[in-house]
Amino acid sequence: MEDRESFHALLDCLPAPERALYDSMESRALEAGFPGRKLVAYTLQAGRPVDVETLTFGAMRMSAVGGPSIELRSDKHSQELTIGMVPLKLPGKAVLIQVPQKFEFKWKGKRGGSGGVNFAPHYAVLIRSQSKPHLKADGDTFCVRLNEFRELFPDIKIGY
């Protein structure tokens, strides 16, 4: 299959309500992920974020059948989500997140305080929402990096 056909076959795995949601979404953002990275999901009501949820990336796995999958832990839900090639709707939110079809993996080093180097996996995730977060469309739900959330709403405290 061509890439486009493969992509549509992945979307065909979605249940009808999630597929309709996916098709209605106009914004997509490619974000870097790595273990411990935080995202913030929220809905905008009267210009203020409500139903705020912090999501943390966990382990990444690879299988010959399912491809790459990434754990995502929520501070609100006791369940651990698994992001894969098929878009996943965040529970209770109008946001979908997935591993992109053209998956890129890096083993990235970071210098430690003692001069040593620590390595961690880095990869991309694709986030789909109704509109871009900076447009602040009332009623839309977003999923952004923790630092981006802090820039958009500096008066709302969210810790690590």
User: CA-to-CA distance for 57 and 82, rounded, in angstroms?
Assistant: 10
Residue 158 lies in a domain: no
55: in domain? yes
Which residue range forms the structural domain that includes residue 126?
3-152
pLDDT tens digits for the chain (160 residues)?
898 898 899 899 999 999 999 999 999 999 999 999 999 999 999 999 999 999 999 999 999 888 899 999 998 877 789 999 999 999 999 999 999 988 888 888 888 878 888 888 899 999 999 998 888 889 999 999 999 999 999 998 886 6
- In this prediction, residue 158 carries a pLDDT of 84
User: In the prediction, which pLDDT does 24 show?
Assistant: 92
Q: What residues pair up with 109 in beta bridges, in sequence order?
A: 119
Domain assignment present for 160: no
Q: Give a yes or no: residue 138 inside a domain.
A: yes
Which of these, 107, 63, 54, 105, lies nearest to 84 by C-alpha position?
63
72 found inside a domain: yes
Q: Interior CA angle at 40 toward 39 and 46, to 5°?
A: 155
Is 157 within the bounds of a domain?
Answer: no
Question: How many angstroms separate the CA atoms of 87 and 130, rounded?
Answer: 15
pLDDT score at 109: 86
Residue 159 lies in a domain: no
Report the C-alpha gap between 118 and 159 in whole angstroms: 24
Tell me whether residue 148 is in a domain: yes
Residue-level pLDDT at 135: 82
From 114, 123, 115, select the one nearest 33 (Cα to Cα).
Answer: 123
| pLDDT of res. 140 | 93
- As for how many domains the chain has, the answer is 1
Look at strands 141-145 and 38-45 and give their pairing. Answer: antiparallel
Tell me the pTM. 0.87
